[in-house]
Structure 1
Amino acid sequence: MRALLVVNPKATTTSGRTRDVLTHALANELKLDVAHTEYRGHARDLAREAAAVGTVDLVVALGGDGTVNEVVNGLLYHGPSAELPRLAVVPGGSTNVFARALGLPNDPVEATGQLLDALKAGRERVVGLGLAGGEGLPDRWFTFTAGFGFDAGVVGRVEQSRRNGQRSTHALYVGQAIRAFFGERGHRRHGPITLSMPGQENVTGLTLSIVSNTSPWTYLGNRPVYASPEASFDTALDLFGTTGLSLVQTLRTIPQLLDSSGAGPHGKHVVAYHDLPEFTLHSEESLPFQVDGDHLGERNTISFTGVPRALRVIV
């Protein structure tokens, strides 16, 4: 089997020595080409080229969720096809939501061992993905989440902190979320986001909008966070939003997000939908937008589509 290993050398939880060991293990079992990313979007370009060549059977992403997202967007540049290479993931980031949602170990060495076992046994899974687009910009695939508004603003703050030399940690995310919460009082009281769904009345006044393609939504260390507990790779998209983000409401919602019972966030300020094939989020003022933890700037309107059976993944 011919495979391409796309390595992010800046992955936060793998050293150069560990990456070398993992590469050697994969090369013993596969006809392996290795490429290291050198710029933002490089993993997408490498995967797109691998899909176009037609002789690559498997693309392995060694890195965090951002690297995985780029590889997925490269593979699906021309849309889903049964002829595309399969995807495999070796987690190397700080959170690795997609890999963990697939049931992979969070340790890269253990995950590599499971990958090799899966290849020998022929284990794979076909997963649905999310697609976000609009405003004449290129569509963007996402594997586990997208956010418009407050959530994406926090991601943007974290990316800026990383550019300033801070290490990506869960503590950094929590700290930036707290700063954003107390720094954006106007949006917390009067939500600018409108949700539009075919055949239904618009839902206005959203202060927060999180789109999920699987569950958990994210992790705090090893603690899963459930924005939409029913979200699954086997259904379309789920949406969690709020029509208020006061301190009292937020303090009520946080324990619900950490509740593993499956109840999910609830209350009169919560907006929740399951298995939505398509919908649109709109704001009169530009708001931050993110997919899979990658901040994509500000938008006014984003259309979302759940695409079933979009990609084959080795598990």
Structure 2
Amino acid sequence: MSGGRGNRAGVSAGAALLGFVVAAVLVLRHGGNGLPVDADVRAWALAHRPDVGVAAARAVTATGTGPVPYLLAFLAGWLAARDRRRRLWAAGAAVAVLACGQAVRYGVLAAVARPRPPVDGWATHADGWSFPSGHTATSAMAAGLIAAALLLHSRRAAGPVVAVAGCWAVAVGLSRAYLGVHWFTDVIAGWLFATVWLSVCAWAALRFLPATRHGTAPRGGPRGGDAGDGRGDGGDGGNRRGSRDSRSSGGSSGSGGSGSGGAGRRGEQRVSGPGRGEADGRGTDGPGADGRGADGPGAGRRGRGGAGGRGSSGRGDASRSA
């Protein structure tokens, strides 16, 4: 199971990385300026900016940075852990995933060094390089962590929440282009970057963290059948011991009937062990269990009673030994 999930994470990371590299190459070939699709999206945004739309976009874009994504990452780690003692560790790990992703993104920003769109079209404050979009990548990583944490527990119950988280990440990214502070390809690159980073982290977790592969083995003693209900190994061991004791008792009773009764009682004491179901002689061939020695069937009856009286085929071997 973990191998299949690890393979899917690797394929997702590879596909997203390929798309991200293609976008970066196109941006660098155009000298950092906007591509044709960027110019079209910017022109549409400038022509459709009512006051209510700008206010809503500003409110949405503010949630893509600052404490909100980190609080969501902390919550994702807290929800992912099933054990209370591990929740704090998991929450810290999720926050570290987001913080390390931000550090890598800053490196990509400096490497590509793409300028932002012209300032005359900005409807909010912004600074720094443009590719990839920081708000977009941050919100997408936080939404991905929330989705992964919820899907670990229940896919059906997580569906609505995962859908809301995905819509939030998409809205944050589109708000950056709508407010004019990012090219549309910056937003696309932010989503691709988040996909690459989360997929790599998921692959690493499935590969190197045993707790994410399968559920841990249940702790406790052996199963009830093995512990001595007569159907497991304990019952079979008692059965074999009972058979050996019955043979020894049958051999000693061949010289006299009185000895056979005592042997039967000794067989009973030794046989009645942990595996009561079969160890008391049920369905076993107990040589000497009848205890029919040279002195007649009376001793045999005592031997049968001593050995437990439940085996139907344990008779007559003591007479052969005599």
The TM-score range, normalised by the shorter chain, is under 0.3
More strand by share: 1
Q: Of the two structures, which has the highest relative contact order with CA contacts closer than 8 Å and spacing of 6 or more?
A: 1
More helix by share: 2
TM-score of the superposed pair, with normalisation by structure 2: 0.22
How high is the TM-score relative to the length of structure 1?
0.22
